[in-house]
């Protein structure tokens, strides 16, 4: 990837941006020197995670949010992230929104990102993609995840503010609680609020929040109807207020640094793992191999032994 391509992307050229995002998605990433430049220029955009169970209407709500944020004069990027395989879902929102009227607006950039390459690749690719969108001059980056679960929680952790989208019925509130998603939500949108049961869903969520309320800040709960736009302005206000208040009390910078630390450590873990898998001969000596072949030593125990060796040596060297 050339410096020139990066320069175009940072100047806001959509085609260049798309090409660089493909590089990041493929897992190869961009040359370290260029990524350092992207990093240096990032930190300005507000990153809003949008998550929730399938069927809650996330995609439609995101489309409505784009329109609302454009009315406020913001440049908006959407990164629709699908941690499941390329086969079982994914890449839907991006295509849908891209086809809408929005696609002709130069200040909107929509992109979906699926899990390619090895497991966990997306968890590392997503923050890099967000930084690139940020550095290219977007004011708001909406990170939409498909589904609710472990991976989505991990990706929501890229965000300054997490919006959880629920819909009346189907026990979504309870399910979300189980998955620990309620705990990471800053704003909760009970969407499809024109359906029967919306008030009940809001009450259920509020009750669940009271149960879990402790030291942490209680999330704002709103009713929205993405189709008609009802409540969407209030939703945008809620997350902007949330980011502003974090900025004022210094939490924003602190949380962002914590995320960067975590990302660096995750990356280190993945790199170590990859290198061990790439050079088995360096790690599996004859004695360990014999243990496996003769079934005297379980693979888990052999794995622990390899890890002990790798890190013991490194730990000794540390100051």
Site for a second copy in 164-223 (CB under 8 A): 175, 178-179
Beta-ladder partners of 240:
none
- Which is closer to a second copy, CB of 120 or CB of 169? 120
Count of C-beta atoms within a 10 Å radius of residue 33: 9
Given the rule CB under 8 A, which of 1-9, 102-110, 194-202, 307-315 is the region that contacts a second copy?
A: 307-315
CB of 99 to a second copy, least distance (A): 22
Given the rule CB under 8 A, which of 1-9, 221-229, 231-239, 280-288 is the region that contacts a second copy?
A: 280-288
State residue 314 phi and psi, 5-degree precision.
-70, -40
148 binds a second copy (CB under 8 A): yes
Q: How many residues of this chain interact with a second copy, rule: CB under 8 A?
A: 86
Q: From the list 1, 91, 208, 306, which residue makes contact with a second copy (rule: CB under 8 A)?
A: 306
293 binds a second copy (CB under 8 A): yes
Q: From the list 18, 86, 244, 247, which residue makes contact with a second copy (rule: CB under 8 A)?
A: 86
314 binds a second copy (CB under 8 A): yes
Cα–Cα–Cα angle for 80, 86, 16, rounded to 5 degrees: 50
CB of 78 to a second copy, least distance (A): 21
State residue 143 phi and psi, 5-degree precision.
-105, 105
- Which is closer to a second copy, CB of 148 or CB of 232? 148
Count of C-beta atoms within a 10 Å radius of residue 215: 4
Given the rule CB under 8 A, which of 147-155, 185-193, 196-204, 228-236 is the region that contacts a second copy?
A: 147-155
For residues 12-71, which are near a second copy according to CB under 8 A? 29, 32, 35-36, 38-40, 42-43, 53-54
Question: How far apart (Å, rounded) are the C-alpha atoms in residues 225 and 215?
Answer: 31
CB of 39 to a second copy, least distance (A): 4
For residues 111-140, which are near a second copy according to CB under 8 A? 115, 118-120, 123-124, 127-128
Q: From the list 72, 217, 280, 287, which residue makes contact with a second copy (rule: CB under 8 A)?
A: 280
CB of 98 to a second copy, least distance (A): 22
Question: How far apart (Å, rounded) are the C-alpha atoms in residues 214 and 317?
Answer: 42
284 binds a second copy (CB under 8 A): yes
Q: From the list 4, 210, 216, 295, which residue makes contact with a second copy (rule: CB under 8 A)?
A: 295
Radius of gyration (Cα) for the chain, nearest Å?
22
Question: How far apart (Å, rounded) are the C-alpha atoms in residues 55 and 167?
Answer: 8
Here the tokens at position 81 are 């992230």
Here the tokens at position 253 are 């910078």
Question: x/- string (CB under 8 A) for a second copy, residues 250-279?
Answer: -------x--xxxxxxxxxxxxxxxxxx--
Residues 203, 63, 67, 123: is their CA dihedral positive or negative? positive
85 binds a second copy (CB under 8 A): yes
- Which is closer to a second copy, CB of 70 or CB of 262? 262
Here the tokens at position 306 are 């390899």
Beta-ladder partners of 187:
163, 220
Task: Answer yes or no: are the C-beta atoms of 240 and 202 closer than 8 Å.
Answer: no
Report how far apart, in Å, the C-alpha atoms of 217 and of each of 220, 242, 245, 248 are.
Answer: 9, 10, 12, 15
Cβ-proximal residues to 222 (8 Å cutoff; 6+ apart), any chain: 187, 188, 189, 190, 231, 234, 235, 238
- Which is closer to a second copy, CB of 102 or CB of 302? 302
């Amino acid at each position: 990837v050339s410096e020139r391509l990066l320069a175009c992307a940072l100047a806001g050229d959509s085609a260049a941006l798309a090409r660089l995002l493909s590089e990041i998605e493929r897992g190869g990433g961009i040359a370290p020197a260029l990524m350092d430049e992207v990093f240096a220029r990032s930190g300005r955009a507000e990153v809003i995670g949008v998550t929730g169970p399938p069927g809650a209407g996330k995609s439609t709500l995101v489309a409505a949010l784009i329109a609302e944020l454009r009315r406020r004069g913001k440049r908006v990027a959407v990164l629709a992230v699908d941690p499941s395989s390329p086969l079982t879902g994914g890449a839907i929102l991006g295509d849908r929104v891209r086809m809408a009227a929005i696609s002709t607006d130069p200040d909107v950039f929509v992109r979906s990102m699926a899990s390619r390459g090895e497991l966990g690749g997306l968890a590392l690719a997503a923050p890099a993609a967000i930084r690139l969108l940020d550095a290219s001059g977007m004011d708001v980056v909406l990170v939409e995840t498909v589904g609710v679960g472990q991976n989505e929680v991990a990706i929501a952790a890229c965000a300054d503010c997490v919006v959880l989208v629920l819909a009346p019925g189907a026990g979504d509130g309870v399910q979300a609680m189980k998955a620990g998603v309620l705990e990471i939500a800053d704003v909760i949108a009970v969407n499809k609020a024109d359906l029967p049961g919306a008030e009940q869903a809001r009450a259920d969520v509020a009750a669940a929040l009271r149960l879990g309320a402790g030291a942490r800040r209680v999330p704002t709960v709103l009713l929205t109807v993405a189709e008609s736009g009802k409540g969407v302005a209030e939703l945008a206000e809620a997350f902007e207020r949330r980011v502003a208040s974090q900025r004022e009390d210094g939490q924003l910078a602190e949380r962002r640094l914590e995320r960067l630390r975590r990302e660096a450590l995750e990356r280190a873990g993945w790199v170590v793992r990859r290198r061990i898998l790439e050079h088995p001969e360096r790690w599996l000596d004859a004695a360990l191999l014999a243990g496996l072949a003769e079934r005297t030593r379980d693979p888990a125990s052999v794995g622990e032994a390899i890890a002990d060796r790798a890190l013991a040596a490194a730990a000794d060297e540390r100051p």
